[in-house]
Amino acid sequence: MGSSPDNRQPRFKGLPAESLNLLQLTDSHLYADPSRCLLGINTLETFDQVLAQALQEAGHPDFILATGDLVHDASDTGYKRLLGRLQLTEIPTYCLPGNHDLPGKMKQILNQDNVHCIPSVQAKGWSLIFLDSTIPNSDGGRIDEGQLGLLKVLLEAHNDKHTMVCMHHHPIPVGSRWMDTMVLDNPGEFFQLIEAHPQVKAVLCGHIHQTFDSMYKGIRLIGSPSTCVQFVPEEDDFAIDAAPPGYRWLSLQADGTIETGLASLPEIPSGLDLASMGY
Q: What are the tens digits of pLDDT across the range 7-40?
A: 444 467 778 889 999 999 999 999 999 999 999 9
Per residue in 43-88, pLDDT tens?
999 999 999 999 999 878 999 999 999 999 999 999 999 999 999 9
Please give the pLDDT value at position 135.
Answer: 97
Q: What angle do CA 36, 177, 167 make, to 5 degrees?
A: 65
* pLDDT-above-90 percentage for the chain: 88
The mean per-residue pLDDT over the stretch 162-190 comes to: 97
Biggest CA-to-CA distance, the chain: 50
Say whether pLDDT at 98 is over 80. yes
Domain ranges of the chain: 20-264
Please give the pLDDT value at position 108.
Answer: 97
* pLDDT-above-70 percentage for the chain: 96
Residue 171, SS3 per DSSP: coil
- pTM value? 0.94
The mean per-residue pLDDT over the stretch 178-207 comes to: 97
Please give the pLDDT value at position 35.
Answer: 96
Please give the pLDDT value at position 4.
Answer: 39
> pLDDT band at 275, cuts 50/70/90?
confident
Say whether pLDDT at 193 is over 60. yes
Range list of β-strands (E), the chain: 20-25, 37-38, 41-42, 63-67, 93-96, 115-116, 120-123, 126-130, 162-167, 200-205, 212-216, 219-223, 230-231, 240-241, 246-252, 258-264
The mean per-residue pLDDT over the stretch 251-278 comes to: 91
Say whether pLDDT at 6 is over 60. no
More confident of the two residues 174 and 277: 174
Provide the mean pLDDT of the chain: 94
In words, the CATH class of domain 20-264 is: alpha beta
H helix intervals, the chain: 43-58, 76-89, 103-110, 145-157, 187-195
